[in-house]
Chain A
Amino acid sequence: MTNIVVLVKQVPDTYSERKLTETDHTLDRESADAVLDEINERAVEEALKIKEAGEGEVTVLCVGPDRATDAIRKALSMGADKAVHVSDEALHGSDLVATSRVIAAAIGKLDSVDLVIAGNEASDGRGGAVPAVVAELLGLPQLTHAHHLAVEGSTVKVDRETADEGITHLEANLPALVSVTEKINEPRYPSFKGIMAAKKKPVETYTVADLGIDAGEVGLTNAWSAVQSASPKPPRQAGERVEDDGEGGTKIAEYLVGQKLV
């Protein structure tokens, strides 16, 4: 029986226009469609595969505003068994250290966790450090950037792949924390039965106070980092047009060489 916790986050859809609010430079959640981060779908998929190969229970854990229930429901529709949702106004603008402390405290509320699976980085903040910080706070071995994951008895084996360092084979005793990359799997679609079953699955909701954390330790004003200014991405420039007067191919090749693209 493997008890797995999957960390999930609701993020603005990468297909919509993403921006920061003008007042405090935090994410403008209202301006974009909110979805379960795709990397988290892969994390859920990996947990479900481990569960289906043996025995286990999959709990999804989400820190986010009330509307994040949609992301939680999607993970439950895919097949996760239950969820923990930490929602508190005080969390608005929390940095990744505070967020990780909240996640660690919420995991502490659960009985006998064997494996924590997270995405390697969220598509909005892109800090990419939450899995490591959570592992450190919980005293768990961290096996990050996994593109392959296997649980064998009381050990977990991971193929870790990063752009600069090639592939490393890691192994640790459970309990442990693994973060996965987008190469790990192709997530399943929620089935219709899964969608209908999701509404009956338990979702436990906590505030920071429930987790024994002082509201004064989280949120924007207590963050260790601050965004001083932000400006929107400049609009896309018009492309360069090559008229073909018989030399079009040469001109395109010269352009590509000039841009160091070939």
Chain B
Amino acid sequence: MDLSLTTEQQALRDTAREFVDAEIVPNIQEWDRAEAVDRAIVGKLGDIGFLGLTVPERYGGSGGNHLDYCLMMEEIGRGDSSVRGIVSVSLGLVAKTVLRFGTEQQKQAWLPGLCSGASLACFGLTEPDTGSDAANLNSKAVRDGDDWVINGSKMFITNGTWADLALIFARTGGTGPKGVSAFLVPTGTPGFSHTEIKGKLGLRGQSTGELTLDNVRVPAEAMLGSEGEGFRIAMAALDKGRMSVAAGCVGLARAALDASVRYATERDQFGKPIAGFQLVQEMLADMAVATDAARLLVWRVADLIDREQPFGTAASMAKLHATENAVNAANQAIQVFGGYGYIDEYPVGKYLRDARVMTLYEGTSQIQKLLIGRALTGVSAFT
């Protein structure tokens, strides 16, 4: 087994580092305080091909494999999880899903814009009353001639107020997972509205919205996949999405570690740098080991996807460990920084606030454990 990167992968990582250090890192405090990143960052990410990674060039993508994608996501996650989330959702959850389940016409219609950054997408699964229990979602789509008419609301939707395209999951049949279908809905369709959700603990730079669909009429061709296939599509998207979140969390934890190492070597107490105290070194060592372990779990998922092997359980393991580690690492970083970690002059407080949602969205840590437990035992704890 060879874990070294190719020359091209090193160049990709170097470019991503350079881009993140120049275009993202200097702005994170301002974006966090303003509760909005500068949207120009989306076009810039598109220009260098980052919004098209893993999408073939014939659909406006950049090509590349899932390890390339993870290298990029780690670097963006190191810079700003808000920006990483924009990419994770628009490319990771929606564009990749259109690529896998879409008709040729759907791919031609949406992928070039999403890959260039000319348009953004959001993923409309979660509802006010259904989070982990997504199979029981309440939004409804009713057939009317050649159209579908969709009603319902969606909650905590990343890119919700910015998106041009919403991948909406709605019930077209009976109860449970088999009654759900997926639709590609342009957000400018009459009856589609959104409200910005303010006051988030973290990921403040990101647009998070509540979506309302009031008799939104779309043609039959807007359905992604076949009728009743929606829940399977959502779960397939989330399997890959978990790798994406996990890769971003490796970056976040690395940022926390790097900041802690730097600070520990510069900060003197009792006449010497605090890096010289064993209890500080223990924190740094724990962060480093857990972060490297998270990266290896992420890379395993990427490798399985690229070799077209089953990867769902591996993705749950990576997501569980990488997100919990991101929270721990950011929390430990504040401990290393002491009082200075508690103010936003330094970024570690933001790392913790941003990290905290990672163990919640795209499947909570508890859901990941149940998925891993079901794979181990063959017994489902969901029913």
Which residues of the partner chain B approach A195 to less than 8 Å between Cβ atoms?
Answer: 8, 11-12, 15
Q: Which of A77, A194, A195 has the most CB of B within 10 A?
A: A195
* A190–B15 alpha-carbon span in the complex (Å): 7
* A192–B62 alpha-carbon span in the complex (Å): 6
| Cβ contact within 8 Å between A191 and B62 | yes
Among listed B46-54, B125-133, B153-161, B267-275, interface-contacting one: B46-54
| Cβ contact within 8 Å between A191 and B63 | no
B19-52 CB contact bits vs A (8 Å, 1 = yes)? 1000000000000000000000000000111101
Which residues of the partner chain A approach B53 to less than 8 Å between Cβ atoms?
Answer: 192
B53: min CB distance to chain A, Å: 6
Interface size range on A against B: 10 to 19
B13: min CB distance to chain A, Å: 10
A51-78 CB contact bits vs B (8 Å, 1 = yes)? 0000000000000000000000110010
* A198–B7 alpha-carbon span in the complex (Å): 10
Which residues of the partner chain A approach B48 to less than 8 Å between Cβ atoms?
Answer: 189-192
| Cβ contact within 8 Å between A189 and B62 | no
| Cβ contact within 8 Å between B11 and A191 | no
Q: Is A49 an interface residue (CB 8 A)?
A: no
Q: Is B210 an interface residue (CB 8 A)?
A: no
Q: Is A193 an interface residue (CB 8 A)?
A: yes
Q: Is B282 an interface residue (CB 8 A)?
A: no
A128-158 CB contact bits vs B (8 Å, 1 = yes)? 0000000000000000000000000000000
Whether A189 contacts B15 in the complex (CB less than 8 A), given A196-B63, A196-B64, comes out as yes
Residue ID in chain A nearest B46 by CB atoms: A191
* A194–B52 alpha-carbon span in the complex (Å): 13
* A236–B380 alpha-carbon span in the complex (Å): 64
Q: Is B68 an interface residue (CB 8 A)?
A: yes
Residue ID in chain A nearest B12 by CB atoms: A195
Residue ID in chain B nearest A186 by CB atoms: B22
Residue ID in chain B nearest A189 by CB atoms: B48
Q: Is A169 an interface residue (CB 8 A)?
A: no
Interface size range on B against A: 10 to 19
| Cβ contact within 8 Å between A192 and B50 | yes
| Cβ contact within 8 Å between B62 and A190 | no
> What number of A-B contacts does a CB cutoff of 8 Å give?
46
B33: min CB distance to chain A, Å: 26
* A193–B60 alpha-carbon span in the complex (Å): 11
Which residues of the partner chain B approach A198 to less than 8 Å between Cβ atoms?
Answer: 8, 11
Which residues of the partner chain B approach A73 to less than 8 Å between Cβ atoms?
Answer: 7, 11
* A198–B12 alpha-carbon span in the complex (Å): 12
Q: Is the interface of A mostly helix, strand, loop or mixed?
A: helix
A192 touches which of B7, B12, B18 (Cβ 8 Å) = B12
Which residues of the partner chain A approach B15 to less than 8 Å between Cβ atoms?
Answer: 77, 189-190, 192, 195
* A192–B50 alpha-carbon span in the complex (Å): 7
B92: min CB distance to chain A, Å: 15
Q: Is A199 an interface residue (CB 8 A)?
A: yes
Q: Is B57 an interface residue (CB 8 A)?
A: yes
Which residues of the partner chain A approach B64 to less than 8 Å between Cβ atoms?
Answer: 192, 196
Q: Which of A73, A74, A189, A190 has the most CB of B within 10 A?
A: A189
| Cβ contact within 8 Å between B47 and A191 | yes
Which residues of the partner chain B approach A196 to less than 8 Å between Cβ atoms?
Answer: 8, 62-64
B62 touches which of A74, A188, A193 (Cβ 8 Å) = A193
Which residues of the partner chain B approach A189 to less than 8 Å between Cβ atoms?
Answer: 15, 18-19, 47-48
* A198–B64 alpha-carbon span in the complex (Å): 14
Within 8 A of B (CB), among A170-228: 188-196, 198-199
* A156–B49 alpha-carbon span in the complex (Å): 33
Q: Which of B12, B15, B52, B63 has the most CB of A within 10 A?
A: B15
A43: min CB distance to chain B, Å: 18
| Cβ contact within 8 Å between A193 and B19 | no
Whether A77 contacts B11 in the complex (CB less than 8 A), given A192-B64, A193-B57, A196-B64, comes out as yes
Which residues of the partner chain A approach B57 to less than 8 Å between Cβ atoms?
Answer: 193
Which residues of the partner chain A approach B68 to less than 8 Å between Cβ atoms?
Answer: 192
| Cβ contact within 8 Å between A190 and B11 | yes
* A192–B53 alpha-carbon span in the complex (Å): 8
B306: min CB distance to chain A, Å: 15
* A196–B12 alpha-carbon span in the complex (Å): 9
Which residues of the partner chain A approach B8 to less than 8 Å between Cβ atoms?
Answer: 195-196, 198-199
Which residues of the partner chain A approach B11 to less than 8 Å between Cβ atoms?
Answer: 73-74, 77, 190, 195, 198
* A207–B300 alpha-carbon span in the complex (Å): 43
Within 8 A of A (CB), among B39-83: 47-50, 52-53, 57, 62-64, 68
B150-180 CB contact bits vs A (8 Å, 1 = yes)? 0000000000000000000000000000000
B42: min CB distance to chain A, Å: 15
Interface residues of B (CB under 8 A from A): 7-8, 11-12, 15, 18-19, 47-50, 52-53, 57, 62-64, 68
The 3 closest A-B pairs by CB, nearest first: A192-B49, A192-B62, A191-B49
Extra 8 A-B pairs, beta carbons < 8 Å, given A189-B48, A192-B15, A196-B64:
A73-B7, A190-B15, A191-B48, A192-B12, A192-B50, A193-B63, A195-B8, A195-B11
Jot down 9 A-B pairs with beta carbons below 8 A, ordered by A: A73-B7, A74-B11, A77-B15, A190-B15, A191-B48, A192-B12, A192-B15, A194-B49, A196-B8
